[in-house]
Amino acid sequence: MEIIKQRFNTKRTSSGSLTFLEGKRDIPFEVRRIYYIYDLAQGAHRGFHAHKALHQYLICVHGNCEILLDDGTQRETVLLNNPGEGLYVGPGVWREMYAFSPGAVLLVLASEFYDEDDYIRDYDRFLNYARAKVH
């Protein structure tokens, strides 16, 4: 499984840092939705699903967290600890988010409006879906 972690343009000065993302130039899909996850309970585990069509960038804009990615054959863990970089997560990848540091904020740029029908929330169903895609 290819892990795509992208470093965004960042301007650092003595007064602080500024990261910017430009549509089409930095994000290869049209962003239709932005959401962010915060106020996380200690030991919180989230995700536990895959998407059929959704493309996303996950950016830990404050603190850090870990993302488990599973394409049905391989599992990889990615640490997000830099607000200047984002992790691309495409369709057909099971994801779990955990090990959030206190006060962590996970920002997500998504290619589609919210649609519960795009989710696969059952792991066995996901494995069947992933296997059917390969063959």
Q: Mind telling me the catalytic residues?
A: 49
Tokens 């915060």, residue?
Answer: 38
- 114 in contact with ligand T46 (CB under 6 A): yes
Stretch of residues binding ligand T46 (CB under 6 A), selected from 29-37, 68-76, 80-88, 123-131: 29-37
Q: Which is nearer to ligand T46, 88 or 95 (CB)?
A: 95
**What is the amino acid identity at position 119?**
Y
Size of the site for ligand T46 (CB under 6 A): 11
| Minimum CB–partner distance for residue 111 and ligand T46 (Å) | 11
Please, which residues have CB within 8 angstroms of residue 93's CB and are 6 or more apart in sequence?
Answer: 1, 50, 51, 69, 70, 71
Half-sphere exposure of 42 (CA within 13 A, CB side): 0
- Site pattern 36..65 for ligand T46 (x: CB under 6 A): -x--------xx--------x-x-------
d(CA 103, CA 36) in angstroms, rounded, equals 12
| Minimum CB–partner distance for residue 24 and ligand T46 (Å) | 22
Length of the chain: 135
d(CA 92, CA 54) in angstroms, rounded, equals 9
Q: Sheet of 105-110: strands edge to edge?
A: 4-7, 85-89, 56-62, 105-110, 33-37
| Minimum CB–partner distance for residue 90 and ligand T46 (Å) | 11
Q: Which is nearer to ligand T46, 9 or 36 (CB)?
A: 36
Give the residues lining the site for ligand T46 (CB under 6 A).
33, 35, 37, 46-47, 56, 58, 95, 97, 108, 114
